[in-house]
Structure formats: C-alpha cells, structure tokens
Amino acid sequence: MQNASPLVGVVMGSSSDWETMKHAADILSEFGVAFEARVVSAHRMPDDMFAYAEAAEGRGLRAIIAGAGGAAHLPGMLAAKTLVPVLGVPVASRHLQGVDSLHSIVQMPKGIPVATFAIGTAGAGNAALFALAMLAQDDAQLRDKLAAYRVRQTEVARAMSKDLI
C-alpha cells in the first residue's frame, strides 16, 4: 500500500536493486502497511539522500529499509542523519555476489547502528518482517497478522515431509 502517509520507507541505491527490494515491498503490501519506495543513491544523489534522512522522522516514517550493493554507503549514511531505525539490506553485487555489500553495511563503527540483514531477497523480506515486528509493538491487529503468518509458515513446513518419498 503506497500512499501519502507511509510508515516505512523502502529506499535503494539504484533501480537495479528493485528486483531484490520488491521482496520487502511485497511483504509490507501483504500486511497492509503503508510504505513508499524510492531510489535515493548515496553517491549519485547525496544531497537528496541527506534531505530524505532529515525529513524522515517529521514525515512519520517509523523505519527505513535501505538496500544497496557494492560499496554500500546508503544505510549507514541515512542512519547518520536520522534517529529513525535503519534496516540495511545488502544487495548481491555483480562481481563479489554481495559479500562486499554485506561487509559495507554490517561494519558500522560503534555509535551509529544499522540493523543488517542477509544478502539478497531473504534479507529484504526479513527486513520488512522486522519493521512489521517493530510496528506491532503498539498495534495489536498487526501483531495478530504476524502471528498468523508464522502459523501459516509452520503449516507449509510440516507439509513438506509428504513430498519426500
């Protein structure tokens, strides 16, 4: 649900990251949580990136999911400019398969935290689920939806055994 009062910002360094980051957007949509999706490149549009971070809290964002690949400064630089929690998603890069992105995002010096998730689509999906868990702290309906999501996952996993032989 993309609308004028997003609770979660899904941002990324390039449109080439969208294939990964849409997995975060899909989960937020599934749960009916308002979000926005934007390209806010740290090195190609640094002024826009700072403006986005500076406005985030005032615009009502409760979490920013930031995906980037390679020398992935975006999550850390956003976190440096806002108190809104930043959830970093390392996007798989062409040459180093995202290990470079992971190391860039996870190795924040003490003082400016970025919650770092797995490389790629699992990380994007889990970042969205983590943002939902944060929002669910004061939203009982959302908490129930998350609990139901877990139950469905368990049912799917239990059903897997029957396909083995």
Handedness of CA 119, 121, 124, 125 (dihedral sign): negative
CB 131, min distance to ligand RP5, A: 19
Query: How many binding residues for ligand RP5 (CB under 6 A)?
Result: 10
- Which listed range, 1-9, 64-72, 108-116, 126-134, lies at the site for ligand RP5 (CB under 6 A)? 64-72
Distance between CA atoms of residues 36 and 131, nearest Å: 13
- Which listed range, 14-22, 81-89, 111-119, 140-148, lies at the site for ligand RP5 (CB under 6 A)? 14-22
Please, which of residues 129-148 interact with ligand RP5 by CB under 6 A? none
Q: Give the DSSP per-residue string, the chain.
A: -B-SS-SEEEEESSGGGHHHHHHHHHHHHHTT--EEEEE--TTTSHHHHHHHHHHHTTTT-SEEEEEEESS--HHHHHHHT-SS-EEEEEEPPTTTTTHHHHHHHH-PPTTS--EE--SSHHHHHHHHHHHHHHHGGG-HHHHHHHHHHHHHHHHHHHHGGGG--
A 10 A CB-CB count for 68 gives: 30
Do the annotations mark residue 143 as ligand-binding? no
User: Taking CB under 6 A as the rule, which mask of x and - marks residues 37-56 in contact with ligand RP5?
Assistant: ----x---------------
Given candidates 6, 7, 11, 17, which one binds ligand RP5 under the rule CB under 6 A?
A: 17
Q: Which is nearer to ligand RP5, 50 or 149 (CB)?
A: 50
Q: Which is nearer to ligand RP5, 15 or 153 (CB)?
A: 15
Please tell me whether residue 69 binds ligand RP5 under the rule CB under 6 A: yes
Please tell me whether residue 84 binds ligand RP5 under the rule CB under 6 A: no
Residue numbers belonging to the annotated binding site for substrate: 14, 17, 44
Interacting residues with ligand RP5 (CB under 6 A)? 12-14, 16-17, 41, 68-70, 91
